[in-house]
Amino acid sequence: MRILLLALLAAGQCSLAADDRVLGFDEAASNAQRNIESRLDASIDKNEMDQWLRRMSAKPHHAGSAAGKENAEFIASLFESWGYDVEIAEYEILLPTPKVREVELVAPTQFSASLTEDSLAEDPSTSVREELLPPYNAFSIDGEVEGELVFVNYGRLEDYEILDRYGISVEGKIAIAKYGMSWRGIKPKLAGEKGAIGTILYSDPADDGYGAGDPYPKGAFKHESGIQRGSVMDMPTYPGDVLTPGRGATRNAKRLKQEDAITITRIPVLPISHKDALPLLSAMDGEVVPPDWRGALPITYHFGPGPARVRMKAEFNWNMVTAYNVIARLEGSEYPDEWVIRGNHHDGWNHGAADPLSGLITMLAEAKAVAALANAGERPKRTVIYAAWDAEEPGLIGSTEWAEHHAKELKKHAVAYLNTDGTSRGFIGIGGSHVLERFFNQIIEEVKDPRSEISLKQRLQASLKINAESDQEKKDAAERADIRLDPMGSGSDYTPFLQHLGIASAKLGFGGEAAGGSYHTLYDTYEHFTTWNDPGLVYGETLPKVTGRATLRLANAQRLPFEFLGLADNIALYVSELEELADTMREATAKTNELIDSGAWAAALDPNKSLGAPARHEPVPHFGFAPLKNALERLQTAATAYDAAAKTSTVTSEEINNLLYTSERLLTRDEGLDGRPWYKHHIYAPGFYTGYGVKTIPGVREAIEQREYEKVEPQIEIAAGVLNNMAERIEQVTSLID
Amino acid sequence: MRILLLALLAAGQCSLAADDRVLGFDEAASNAQRNIESRLDASIDKNEMDQWLRRMSAKPHHAGSAAGKENAEFIASLFESWGYDVEIAEYEILLPTPKVREVELVAPTQFSASLTEDSLAEDPSTSVREELLPPYNAFSIDGEVEGELVFVNYGRLEDYEILDRYGISVEGKIAIAKYGMSWRGIKPKLAGEKGAIGTILYSDPADDGYGAGDPYPKGAFKHESGIQRGSVMDMPTYPGDVLTPGRGATRNAKRLKQEDAITITRIPVLPISHKDALPLLSAMDGEVVPPDWRGALPITYHFGPGPARVRMKAEFNWNMVTAYNVIARLEGSEYPDEWVIRGNHHDGWNHGAADPLSGLITMLAEAKAVAALANAGERPKRTVIYAAWDAEEPGLIGSTEWAEHHAKELKKHAVAYLNTDGTSRGFIGIGGSHVLERFFNQIIEEVKDPRSEISLKQRLQASLKINAESDQEKKDAAERADIRLDPMGSGSDYTPFLQHLGIASAKLGFGGEAAGGSYHTLYDTYEHFTTWNDPGLVYGETLPKVTGRATLRLANAQRLPFEFLGLADNIALYVSELEELADTMREATAKTNELIDSGAWAAALDPNKSLGAPARHEPVPHFGFAPLKNALERLQTAATAYDAAAKTSTVTSEEINNLLYTSERLLTRDEGLDGRPWYKHHIYAPGFYTGYGVKTIPGVREAIEQREYEKVEPQIEIAAGVLNNMAERIEQVTSLID
């Protein structure tokens, strides 16, 4: 079935290549739209973008800061000056800031971590420290603990499996974990579940520091004193204000008591620099960690526990602060009740030049250009809403509160949500709802890479061809006409729209050619960004051409450019992955059990080491995937029929468009996911134990991964249900246009 | 055909299990032999072994030293006291020792490398420095050079391919290379071929130092001042005395002029510690090296060239010294003209406790036990020769000269050569001629692991099952009754016997559970060995039980235990590897060329980096493997027929035994390998560009790897020829016993 589908896709592309229309537009409308887009391109002014970047990154501007409010007001004034209806939507949110931060080695030697980042003569911004929040992890609980250190690698589930094999527990200990390989909030969450009393996070120089590349200011990588800040709120349970899950945090909203907010960590967490980590890790002993656990500090890495003993104390001001979302609206000329929403947050942990301002300035450039077109008579047909979110960093709070607050209207009116955040240089990266896969592929076929004469898509395809590793990647690179959108987990403001409300969403940005370590440190400055990330804003100037096309095509399309072959093909991939996951786990479990039972493990283990055999698990049963596969087949058939009809038919109506843009809602269920009802989407979710990392068809996938065998088939039924609903909707739309 | 063969092997083992005879012995003889072996086991005395180890490792005892001569005399006296006919066979060899060693950073900062290893209070032996040779690379040419540094990773061919892609040349520069991943002599050889003017070698702490495990004396790994010595003679061209290739270096032998000795490096080489490497590497700049090139020093690793500029000077005393091989002979009671030769070298770079004495003491224990049996009336039927070689470290010189000197007699009389060298603890490791594969498997089925109740083979099989990674390894672990012998490249004294003379050979030792970094440093002491490698000589006591069985079974067998199914099966593997190598290279080359020609590489490269596309190569043609496959099939048929006949027949004779033990000679050709005629064996050879690492069917394999396409089919004919000769021999023997 996959091959058939790919052939269709290929055929589809050929016909689109021959037929030069913009998806969702007839020939005349396509010409008009492309004319508008040329004018949009011409009005992007990177000098102005650079001025905005410089201005808004001049000072630390986290949520709750005076500079953050100033930036919100500046953004609002820009939108107003361009002709938007602007509102600053305020929410009252709980936002802890540090009061006491102490990390102290108390045995076998004494050392106090500095927990501060150095100002650098080479980068004047790093001396602008007014309102600077020192390094901390937002939504760590208050606490003072003392205990032996245990090194837990990246603090993931698989790392604890290794610790178990060595007979090492974090129970009553302080876990020290490297940043990376999972979302940071997972590290204290898992350590807490395993009985640790505290967690220390640091970036190992192998991953981000001199081991990865020259440190700032000589290069882009983490300075030895650099510390990644960041939220450790349990966002895979729910993001946003911890006191108002599912509700907008308006002034008078009903709130949880703080002690009932389950997304605050259960143990204290503090981040430190690798310079501060060195004395702690040097003082550890016990068995030497496996090769893939080792970092680039000039020491032998040991598991512990101890003898290094650490006292850590974390206390926070648990303040209520106001988050300022700037909401700028341009009423649609023909369909004002159909909203295209475009967002980027404005709060930064520090100066935030890369994160989020590099993305924000591209949204502002786009918005200015769209307004200029409107003022010149080319007002978008649908309503366009630009949102500059506040308080994204502590937990997607600004966007989540607004989305929760306006949930009912949004479910009714929102056509799509398009997100940007920090952007850099290299290759276009697009993640999102697969109903928009063909739509975005067409756009990147039409925008040129700024440093070559080929399209963004051609450059990305070249890269995929060269870097393909798995069989699937090789097959895709060789055969697939369209580039797959990355399925979205979490990590930016699309989450409430996509996963809570079922609004088709996407994220866009450039990357891949500017590795570095300014992320969430004092060194995320204008100087760093313009030296190492995107000097000259070469790609910054290109991004609004992509996102502007996306916004305006969604706003102006005669029939909305939703398409279902890409969705069906990606779902087919996920279903095959799930079957393979079950098969692989079944075989690996059987193999491991056999090697344990036959005595092979006991025979082969080194008697001088404490490393034991892997854990024995219950055999993995065979699961009935048939409901999912039947639903998939129906989806594929429906998508194929819609595609055939859509190619020839120009029929459209408000009803058809409404049925199209609300189709993504059908992939959600009001009950949400098992154990985390805030997450409604049943195709895309952040992993409960990976954080940002996506789990596709999460109900089924996580039940298998977590060996909750009895949950798998009920989850298969549920997933099949949402796919059948989607198929039915596609059939309905097809019958209307055919 | 492979499956058939495996089934046969499996069947073969069943019948051997049912039929409990020792391979090559009838039932009565088997019982007698096993009785002898029990007595052998009982007479191994690890306390005495420990005393020998302590005594002989008390002082540095390299070839040419007074302590080396003393050890030779001590070994000779032991053999004499046990009743052997002992000769000290002397050869006059060229052996450079250091006169001047200087490595100095001259820009951008100044630093002089200490080039010395620290004595440690915890290890008294490290203060015994009489006659100590400082760290150097034997057979580096004299020279003083100054130039910019280029970091060449491990200095292998594939590393230069990466350098080429970055546009970096070592021409006129000094290459600094990490020890490891290839034999050290390859590093200056390749650097010299690429135009470098000097080479500096160091052990990165990621590979051998704090990055790998706790450094000595806390742990077993390389002390920060530790420096691996070692020969850089071009042994893949020919080993042994550089002045007398192919001839014994007797006093009056005809010698080359030193300037005509092509196995001396063409550029100067010096080894340094990682402590001394740090200032040099820190002073380098240029692009950052790829992730898999990085080590564990606390710096960002750069390619250079420069700005680090180094002056290095190496001058040597090019002395003629005497090598003392101790040759101890026990004339066979029935077949004195059939010789079983057993060897281990006695010279060490320093104290040499692990290398070579840990192996030497096991040979001495075996020899003493064999002599005791002989004195008690159980004299071996064939002549047994124990050899303690001198000057192995500088280039397998003692063994090579003796083998060359006695080439004619050895080709006539030598049944097999069994080698040991340093040994440690863990799993039995056996490499060797595959005609002995079943023979050694039977032995390790009968010797128990000293720390468990299972046989050495069972423990090794358990480990292979658990660690199998490739499909072939998994298949072998699951299905193959016998453990494959590792095919032998080079690295110890078996090379002249196997690869120059075509004598079936093997190497044996324990390892896998005692990683560490004393190799060729001042820290290879009694203290280090008995703390970290094999405390209590638990495995040291076991090895003579294995090697003693091998020696005595070869010496006493009624019909020599050569067997050909194992050979045929391994050759089948090599042939399939060669076909796969050609196919993989063909596909990869075509793919790379297509990605270059289509512009994908140009499109995907990062314009901010100097990394270019991989090199374009001529398409890889299809090669006619038919002659090799036909010869293989004949070999498989012949091996199967011999196996069937040998199982039922007890026919034997001196003619049959002679035909059996000289069969390995048929795998050699007088012309030797293309470009290196000293190497006569056409199934096993050290790689011309890997050093110790084996290349099986080397004529064909290296022609493909080096893209000398026109040589491949002639080499296939040659390899088919030796296999046909072997098959013919097997057919002949089968006809005699059937």
Digit-coded pLDDT (tens) for A351-379: 999 999 999 999 999 999 999 999 999 99
pLDDT above 90 coverage of chain A, percent = 96
Residue B617 in contact with partner chain A when CB distance is under 8 A = no
DSSP per residue over A68-97, as a string? HHHHHHHHHHHHHHHT-EEEEEEEEEEEEE
Number of domains observed in the structure of chain A: 3
**CB distance A210–B300 less than 8 Å?**
yes
**Domain assignment of residue B122, given as a range:** 96-316
The shortest C-alpha distance from B260 to chain A (Å) reads: 45
Other C-beta atoms closer than 10 Å to the C-beta of A624 total 12
Q: Which of A296, A466, A607 sits opposite B298 (nearest CB)?
A: A296
Residues 6+ apart with CB under 8 A from B679: B236, B238, B499, B500, B672, B673, B685, B686, B698
pLDDT at position B408 is 98
**CB distance A463–B604 less than 8 Å?**
yes
Q: Is residue B17 part of a domain?
A: no
Do A134 and A237 lie in one domain? The reply is: yes
**CB distance B298–A300 less than 8 Å?**
no
| A606 contact residues in B (CB cutoff 8 A) | 426, 513
pLDDT at position B10 is 37
Between the alpha carbon of residue B173 and those of residues A75, B6, B114, B286, the distances in Å are 56, 53, 22, 14
Closest CA to A70 of A59, A79, A81, A80: A59
| B213 contact residues in A (CB cutoff 8 A) | 288, 300
Of A509, A541, A563, which one is at a domain's C-terminal end? A563
- Is beta strand B382-389 parallel, antiparallel or unpaired with respect to B335-345? parallel
The shortest C-alpha distance from A290 to chain B (Å) reads: 9
Of A532, A563, A594, which one is at a domain's C-terminal end? A563
- pLDDT exceeds cutoff 80 at B17: no
**CB distance A211–B300 less than 8 Å?**
yes
For A477-507, the pLDDT digits (tens) are 999 999 999 999 999 999 999 999 999 999 9
For A405-426, the pLDDT digits (tens) are 999 999 999 999 999 999 999 9
Between the alpha carbon of residue B21 and those of residues A667, B531, B547, B641, the distances in Å are 71, 40, 19, 20
Copy the structure tokens of residue A605: 């283990």
Which among B465, B473, B596 is the top mutation candidate for probing chain A, defined by the most A β-carbons within 10 Å of its own β-carbon?
Answer: B465
Q: Is residue A53 part of a domain?
A: no
| B608 contact residues in A (CB cutoff 8 A) | 513
- pLDDT exceeds cutoff 80 at B327: yes
Other C-beta atoms closer than 10 Å to the C-beta of A40 total 22
Copy the structure tokens of residue B519: 């190799």
By C-alpha distance, the chain B residue nearest A286 is B214
Helix (H, G, I), strand (E, B) or coil at B379: coil
- pLDDT exceeds cutoff 80 at A461: yes
pLDDT band at A519 (very low <50, low <70, confident <90, very high): very high
Which among B302, B428, B453, B466 is the top mutation candidate for probing chain A, defined by the most A β-carbons within 10 Å of its own β-carbon?
Answer: B466
Other C-beta atoms closer than 10 Å to the C-beta of A567 total 27
| B461 contact residues in A (CB cutoff 8 A) | 600
For A553-612, the pLDDT digits (tens) are 999 999 999 999 999 999 999 999 999 999 999 999 999 999 999 999 999 999 999 999
Do B295 and B236 lie in one domain? The reply is: yes
By C-alpha distance, the chain A residue nearest B286 is A214
Q: Is residue A632 part of a domain?
A: yes
By C-alpha distance, the chain B residue nearest A289 is B213
Cα distance between residue A9 and residue A24, in whole Å: 17
Cβ atoms of B609 and B289 closer than 8 Å: no
Cα distance between residue A613 and residue A596, in whole Å: 7
Residue B466 in contact with partner chain A when CB distance is under 8 A = yes
Do B367 and B499 lie in one domain? The reply is: yes
Angle at the Cα of B133 from the Cα atoms of B129 and B135, rounded to 5 degrees: 110
Do A330 and A198 lie in one domain? The reply is: no
| Burial letters B367-398, b for 16+ CB under 10 A, else e | bbbbbbbbeeebbbbbbbbbbbbbbbbbbbbb
Residue A288 in contact with partner chain B when CB distance is under 8 A = yes
Do A517 and A611 lie in one domain? The reply is: no
What is the enclosing helix (H) or strand (E) of B44?
A: none
Do A497 and A364 lie in one domain? The reply is: yes
Copy the structure tokens of residue A313: 């104390």
Do A309 and A327 lie in one domain? The reply is: no
- pLDDT exceeds cutoff 70 at B16: no
Cβ atoms of B309 and B146 closer than 8 Å: yes
The shortest C-alpha distance from A362 to chain B (Å) reads: 22
pLDDT at position A692 is 82
For B486-532, the pLDDT digits (tens) are 999 999 999 999 999 999 999 999 999 998 899 999 999 999 999 99
Q: Tell me whether residue A391 is exposed, middle or buried, using C-beta atoms within 10 angstroms of its C-beta: 0 to 12, 13 to 18, 19 or more.
A: buried
pLDDT at position B540 is 98
Other C-beta atoms closer than 10 Å to the C-beta of A658 total 18
Cα distance between residue B525 and residue B527, in whole Å: 5
Do A583 and A539 lie in one domain? The reply is: no
Cα distance between residue A118 and residue A116, in whole Å: 7
By C-alpha distance, the chain A residue nearest B592 is A466
Do B104 and B85 lie in one domain? The reply is: no
Closest CA to B512 of B443, B459, B550, B441: B459
Closest CA to B528 of B296, B223, B201: B223
ipTM: 0.93
The shortest C-alpha distance from A37 to chain B (Å) reads: 25
Check residues A48 and B12 and name the one with the higher pLDDT: A48
What number is the average pLDDT over the span A622-634?
A: 98
Residue B454 in contact with partner chain A when CB distance is under 8 A = yes
Interface of A with B in 408-437 (CB under 8 A): 426
Q: What's A131's domain CATH number?
A: 3.50.30.30
pLDDT at position B694 is 94
**CB distance B210–A451 less than 8 Å?**
no
Q: What's A417's domain CATH number?
A: 3.40.630.10
Residue A296 in contact with partner chain B when CB distance is under 8 A = yes
- pLDDT exceeds cutoff 90 at A310: yes
Do A103 and A211 lie in one domain? The reply is: yes
**CB distance A595–B466 less than 8 Å?**
yes
Residue B452 in contact with partner chain A when CB distance is under 8 A = yes
Residue A606 in contact with partner chain B when CB distance is under 8 A = yes
For A220-253, the pLDDT digits (tens) are 999 999 999 999 999 999 999 999 999 999 999 9
- pLDDT exceeds cutoff 80 at B13: no
Do A74 and A128 lie in one domain? The reply is: no
Of A283, A298, A316, which one is at a domain's C-terminal end? A316
Q: Is residue A39 part of a domain?
A: no
Q: Which of A298, A300, A600 sits opposite B298 (nearest CB)?
A: A298
Q: Is residue B505 part of a domain?
A: yes
The shortest C-alpha distance from A393 to chain B (Å) reads: 30
What number is the average pLDDT over the span A705-713?
A: 97
pLDDT at position A691 is 81
**CB distance B451–A607 less than 8 Å?**
yes
pTM over 0.90: yes
**CB distance B297–A298 less than 8 Å?**
yes
Cβ atoms of A172 and A260 closer than 8 Å: no
Q: What's A696's domain CATH number?
A: 1.20.930.40
Q: Which of B298, B299, B458 sits opposite A603 (nearest CB)?
A: B458
- pLDDT exceeds cutoff 80 at A15: no
What number is the average pLDDT over the span B618-629?
A: 98
Q: How many residues does chain B have?
A: 738
Residue B465 in contact with partner chain A when CB distance is under 8 A = yes
Q: Is residue A661 part of a domain?
A: yes
Q: Is residue B8 part of a domain?
A: no
- pLDDT exceeds cutoff 80 at B261: yes
- pLDDT exceeds cutoff 90 at B690: no
- pLDDT exceeds cutoff 70 at A177: yes
Q: Is residue A469 part of a domain?
A: no
What number is the average pLDDT over the span B126-131?
A: 95
| B604 contact residues in A (CB cutoff 8 A) | 459, 462-463, 465-467
**CB distance B426–A606 less than 8 Å?**
yes
By C-alpha distance, the chain B residue nearest A474 is B591
pLDDT above 70 coverage of chain A, percent = 97
- pLDDT exceeds cutoff 60 at A278: yes
Do B258 and B340 lie in one domain? The reply is: no
| A462 contact residues in B (CB cutoff 8 A) | 599-601, 603-604
